[in-house]
Amino acid sequence: MSLIEFLLRNRQEVVELTLEHLFLVAVSTGVAILIGVPLGILLTRKPNLSKPVLGFANIMQTVPSLALFGFLIPINLYLFHVRILGGIGARTAIVALVLYALLPIIRNTFTGINGVDPAIREAGRGMGMTDRQLLFQVELPLALGVILAGVRVATVICVGTATIAAAIDAGGLGRYIFRGLRMNDNVLILAGAVPAALIALAADIVLGYAERVIRVGNAIKIGFGKILWASAGAIGVLAIAGFIVFSSGKTSDRIAVGSKDFTEQIILGELLAQAMEAKTDMKVERRFDLGGSLAHEALVAGEIDAYVEYSGTALLAILKGRPSADPQDVYRRVKSEYANRFKLEWMEPLGFNNTFAILVRGEDARRLGLKTISDAAKLSAQWRAGFGQDFMSRQDGYPGFVRTYGFHFAETREMDLSLTYRALAEHQVDLIAGNSTDGLISRYGFVQLTDDRGYFPPYDAVPVVRQATLDKYPRLRDILRSLGRILTVEEMRKLNYAVDGEHREVRDVVREFLKRKGFME
Amino acid sequence: MDSEKSIEFNHVSFSLPDGRALLSDLTLEVHRGETLVLLGRSGSGKTTTMKLINRLIDPTEGEVKVDGKSTLEWDPIRLRRRIGYVIQEVGLFPHLSVEENIGVVPRLEGWETDRIKDRARALLATVGLDPDRFAARFPAELSGGQRQRVGVARALAADPPVILLDEPFGALDPITRRDIQQEFRMLQERLKKTMVFVTHDVREALLLAHRIGLVKDGRIILLGPPSDLLHSKDPEALAFAACVVDGKLPGSPA
């Protein structure tokens, strides 16, 4: 399917995502202007502050967006009963975008005002202008072109960064990009990236034009003050409206189900959601696609009520516990630690173990007779390996893996997990660490090598729920219990393949599955 | 209070925070309706003297009085609005039209729009610019001489009793400068304002001054009518007098 075909067929969704994207950008740029311009002005009045403030803004720009999201989600800050900080969704995305957009706006306001000809400033002072009059009648109008240039840079940054907002369920065109990466689908990636690039380009052109007009000087001769106040007012209204819309968050009579940002997680999230919908008349909100460990943080923060976690991940990545190869032992430890530490309850395991799968191309496995990871280790000196960021950094990942099996790769590449499959298929790497339930494994004909030394801990998929939610809706406990042991690895792999390989809708795939299991009619 | 004295300097010194003295022990007075020209080389302290009058800087010693009241007792904003100010680089606001530039102080003073407009057009005529042609232009669309005229008109806008001019015609070509000086002299006689005029051009000083204050290294070394300068034996005065090569005086105002 070509990109144009896709965009036409899904035009309603494309428009919706584009509007979400524009809204994110407009609100965050607006808030950044409301904060950045006055701050820039303050710096021209108190030059001592300029170093720390600009330094802070500089540092904010270098913080990776996922890390920033991670810091922001657990924060709980209310102003007049409106939550202004923390949680998942657009609110946190906007706060992060504002932090990114601040630097160019502060810096350009500061340099724009300082760049006003001292003779002109002195003429103004000599004519008896107060500091305020000098600022609004002379300095700001003359600095406006430079300030606008800063706004332009900030806007373009926001358009680009807003694609990452999809990682915390804030919507926007990033959804297509993440979905495309996950499903290895170039058309989907482009369906997100091309409109985003067009928005950036359009914003750049429009603001560049405004900047030129103002530099020429005609636009402000009639009541600069009026224009300034009018635009400040418009921005303010937009910003406040945006915050109120997004601050409403999860309403009390709903259950919010979350998921991490890969296909299996979305299927499992949908599974929980449909099971709840089938057995109760509660409204279930889906807050899927949360990147990194954001789902856990959102659960602890009460932004979501449940999601499916893997026992090994919880033990090692979240609890930082001692590794163990015994599934029962891992499950018991995680269950009690979560209850004590986070007031979260581990339900019945869903029945499959999604462990790391060390994968090679089928042709290589046949040609070289590879069965176990140890077989591959002997040949690794001529091999290139590709691993996701997750595998490279986690405790049960790369370092222990190469040590246990004695791997010495010719080259190790770190890339996005979803890209490793393609890299293996296209002979750019020779060995990757995928997920054992991944539908793409059969699509590409990869072979999973046996973990003959028992290095990887068990990763049993288990729904995790807030205790407070279970107390409030006791029926949930029975519903989730009935999901125990519902899935085998093969079944999970099939569901994954139905979505990733056959491009079917998650909703339909899950519904069919639950029907087949007799969960609903 | 001596009503004849518009501006007084009593033993005024000014030093920079690093201790460098720009003015030392300056004492002088400017009478109402008088034009005092401060003549001196670049860096002699002329501009510093002027900025003490409208309180862009405060004296480190001594006191400056305007209308019998120390500048330190004046609200600087009120003080500056009573004092027209023309600076060397003109300082016209590039984002405002000629008319709006002239109207700045009246607008700050809360005049009505129509009155500001009328005043600006009248002043343009006063400084020899056709209001219909120039009112709507922007500073970038004017020649150097036209800009200086607008600068003078702007300083006159709210009819201040005192006007400070800091080398207002310094950047003009000699012919334009001569024209504008002649016109300025006529204006001076018509308006009878108290003026402090800073220049390093001895011809300009001789043409426009009622009295000349010769400034060197932050001190007044000579203060008197233009003829004093020409008859002084002080080496700095001789050096300036020697610049009038044709030996013919342009004559002092009546």
Contacts of A223 (CB under 8 A, 6+ apart): none
ipTM of predicted assembly, 2 dp: 0.84
Residue A521 lies in a domain: no
Residue B247 has pLDDT above 90, yes or no: no
Residue A89 or A319, more confident: A319
User: What residue of A is the nearest CA neighbor of B106?
Assistant: A127
Q: What's the pLDDT at A66?
A: 76
| A197 in the same domain as A54 | yes
| A466 in the same domain as A413 | no
β A356-361/B21-31 pair status? unpaired
The SS3 call for residue B166 is: strand
Average pLDDT, stretch A49-57?
Answer: 88
Residue A156 has pLDDT above 50, yes or no: yes
| A123 in the same domain as A242 | yes
Q: Give the Cβ contact number of residue A51 at 10 Å.
A: 10
| A66 in the same domain as A12 | yes
Cβ-defined contact of B93 to A123 (cutoff 8 Å):
yes
Q: Is A219 on the interface with B (CB under 8 A)?
A: no
Report the CATH number at residue A97. Answer: 1.10.3720.10
User: What residue of A is the nearest CA neighbor of B139?
Assistant: A217
Q: Is A457 on the interface with B (CB under 8 A)?
A: no
Convert the pLDDT of each residue in B125-135 to its tens digit: 888 899 999 99
Cβ-defined contact of B93 to A133 (cutoff 8 Å):
no
Cβ-defined contact of B91 to A123 (cutoff 8 Å):
yes
Separation between Cα atoms, residue B11 and residue B15, nearest integer Å: 13
| A137 in the same domain as A33 | yes
Which contiguous run of DSSP H or E holds residue A308?
strand A306-310
A217 falls in which pLDDT band (50, 70, 90)? low
Separation between Cα atoms, residue B25 and residue A472, nearest integer Å: 86
- Please name the member of A117, A133, A142 whose beta carbon is closest to the beta carbon of B108: A133
| A148 in the same domain as A263 | no
User: What residue of A is the nearest CA neighbor of B103?
Assistant: A127
Separation between Cα atoms, residue A73 and residue B119, nearest integer Å: 61
| A235 in the same domain as A144 | yes
Selected for mutation to probe chain B from A120, A127, A228 (highest B CB count within 10 Å) is A127
Strand ranges in chain B using DSSP code E only, listed in sequence order: 5-15, 21-31, 35-40, 61-66, 69-70, 83-86, 162-166, 194-199, 211-216, 219-224
Q: What's the pLDDT at A1?
A: 64
Average pLDDT, chain A: 85
| A360 in the same domain as A348 | no
Residue A454 lies in a domain: no
Contact yes or no for A183/A264 (Cβ under 8 A): no
| A287 in the same domain as A387 | no
Q: How many domains in chain A?
A: 3
User: What residue of A is the nearest CA neighbor of B79?
Assistant: A128
Average pLDDT, stretch B101-109?
Answer: 91
Q: Is A119 on the interface with B (CB under 8 A)?
A: yes
Chain B: closest CA distance from residue A211 (Å): 14
Residue A196 lies in a domain: yes
Residue A505 lies in a domain: yes
- Please name the member of B87, B96, B105 whose beta carbon is closest to the beta carbon of A122: B87
Chain A: closest CA distance from residue B128 (Å): 22
Cβ-defined contact of A127 to B104 (cutoff 8 Å):
yes
Q: What's the pLDDT at B250?
A: 52
Report the CATH number at residue A347. Answer: 3.40.190.10
Convert the pLDDT of each residue in B22-40 to its tens digit: 988 899 999 998 999 999 8
| A367 in the same domain as A337 | no
Tokens 């890339």 correspond to what residue?
A: A415
Cβ-defined contact of B88 to A119 (cutoff 8 Å):
yes
Report the CATH number at residue A440. Answer: 3.40.190.120
Chain A residues whose CB is inside 8 A of the B78 CB are 128
| A221 in the same domain as A91 | yes
| pTM higher than 0.80 | no
Contact yes or no for A108/A146 (Cβ under 8 A): yes
Exposure string for B21-60, b = 16+ CB within 10 A, e = fewer: bbbbebebbbbbbbbbbbbbeeebbbbbbbbbbbbbbebe
A204, A228, A247 — which closes off a domain? A247
Cβ-defined contact of A221 to B85 (cutoff 8 Å):
no
Among chain B, residues having any CB pair with chain A shorter than 8 Å are 54, 56, 76-81, 83, 85, 87-97, 100, 104-105, 108, 138, 140, 154, 164
A392, A417, A449 — which closes off a domain? A449
Domain that holds residue A397: 356-449
Residue A221 lies in a domain: yes
Residue A89 has pLDDT above 90, yes or no: no
Contact yes or no for B13/B61 (Cβ under 8 A): yes
A206, A232, A247 — which closes off a domain? A247
| A301 in the same domain as A280 | yes
Residue A76 lies in a domain: yes
